[in-house]
C-alpha cells in the first residue's frame, strides 16, 4: 500500500468551541466536527463561519442571521403543497395575490374642509375596490366603502357607518384620465384617514 499523508485542520470536538479570527492565518481553516462548522479568517480580520450541518428541523426556512444560518419554528415551507407558513407577516409594500387581488394600506390628513383625493387606482387594472376607513380628529368615525366602475362611470356604496359623536365627512368617487379617484370632504380639519384597500383585477 502506498504511503498516505493525513492533512489535519485545526479542530475541536467540543460543542460550541469557536476559534477567534486571530487564531487563524489567511487561507487557513479550522473545523468543529461536533457542530459541523468550518471557520476562516476574513480580509477584515473577522471570523467567517460556514455551517456544514443545516440547523432547524424539517420544513424550517433557513435564512441569513447576522452572517450565520438562522431558522424559526414560525417560518416553514412544505414542498409537497408549496405552502409557506409564517406565524406573523409584515410587509412594507402592497400584497399581491395571484395577480387577481391587491391589498394595500394608506393614510391622509386633511388641511382644510375642501374636497380632496385620498386614494386612486387605474381603471385599466382594477374593477372593484373595497375600503375599510378609520377617521379621527377630536372624535372617531369608521365605515366600509365599495367602489365599482364600468370603465367610464364609477359607483360607490357606503355601509357599516359608525362614529363616536357624529360623521366626520363624506365620500364620493370619480374617474379622471383613466384613474379612479376616491374623494373625501371633511366636516372639520385636520381629519386623519387611515384605510386598507382591497382591489380586484378587471
Residue 201, judged by CB atoms within 10 A of its CB (0-12, 13-18, 19+), counts as: middle
Question: Rounded to whole angstroms, how far apart are CA atoms 198 and 133?
Answer: 12
Residue-range domain boundaries for the chain: 10-86, 95-201
Q: Which residue has the cell 383625493?
A: 117
pLDDT at residue number 52: 64
Question: Rounded to whole angstroms, how far apart are CA atoms 59 and 77?
Answer: 5
Residues 6+ apart with CB under 8 A from 109: 190, 191, 192, 193
| Predicted structure pTM score | 0.69
Digit-coded pLDDT (tens) for 57-67 = 788 888 888 87
Q: Which residues of the chain have pLDDT under 50?
A: none
Digit-coded pLDDT (tens) for 100-144 = 999 999 999 999 999 999 999 999 999 999 999 999 999 999 999
pLDDT at residue number 7: 82
Phi and psi (nearest 5°) for 23?
-75, -15
pLDDT at residue number 66: 86
Strand pairing category for 29-32 and 10-12:
parallel
Question: In the numeric block, which cell numbers belong to residue 133?
Answer: 376607513
| Assigned superfamily of 95-201 | 4-oxalocrotonate tautomerase-like (2.60.40.1680)
Question: Rounded to whole angstroms, how far apart are CA atoms 68 and 55?
Answer: 10
Strand pairing category for 37-41 and 47-51:
antiparallel
Question: Rounded to whole angstroms, how far apart are CA atoms 177 and 142?
Answer: 30
Max Cα separation, the chain?
A: 96
Amino acid at each position: 500500500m502506498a504511503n498516505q499523508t493525513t492533512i489535519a485542520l485545526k479542530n475541536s470536538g467540543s460543542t460550541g468551541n469557536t476559534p477567534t479570527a486571530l487564531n487563524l492565518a489567511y487561507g487557513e481553516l479550522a473545523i468543529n466536527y461536533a457542530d459541523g462548522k468550518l471557520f476562516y479568517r476574513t480580509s477584515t480580520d473577522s471570523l467567517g463561519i460556514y455551517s456544514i450541518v443545516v440547523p432547524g428541523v424539517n420544513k424550517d426556512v433557513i435564512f441569513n442571521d447576522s452572517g450565520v444560518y438562522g431558522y424559526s419554528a414560525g417560518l416553514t415551507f412544505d414542498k409537497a403543497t408549496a405552502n409557506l407558513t409564517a406565524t406573523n407577516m409584515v410587509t412594507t409594500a402592497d400584497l399581491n395575490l395571484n395577480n387577481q387581488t391587491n391589498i394595500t394600506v394608506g393614510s391622509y390628513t386633511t388641511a382644510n374642509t375642501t374636497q380632496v383625493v385620498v386614494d386612486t387606482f387605474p381603471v385599466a387594472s382594477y374593477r372593484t375596490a373595497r375600503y375599510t376607513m378609520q377617521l379621527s380628529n377630536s372624535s372617531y368615525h369608521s365605515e366600509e366603502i365599495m367602489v365599482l366602475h364600468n370603465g367610464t362611470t364609477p359607483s360607490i356604496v357606503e355601509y357599516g357607518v359608525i362614529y363616536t359623536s357624529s360623521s366626520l365627512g363624506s365620500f364620493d368617487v370619480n374617474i379622471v384620465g383613466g384613474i379612479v379617484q376616491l374623494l373625501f370632504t371633511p366636516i372639520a380639519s385636520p381629519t386623519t384617514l387611515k384605510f386598507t384597500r382591497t382591489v380586484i383585477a378587471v
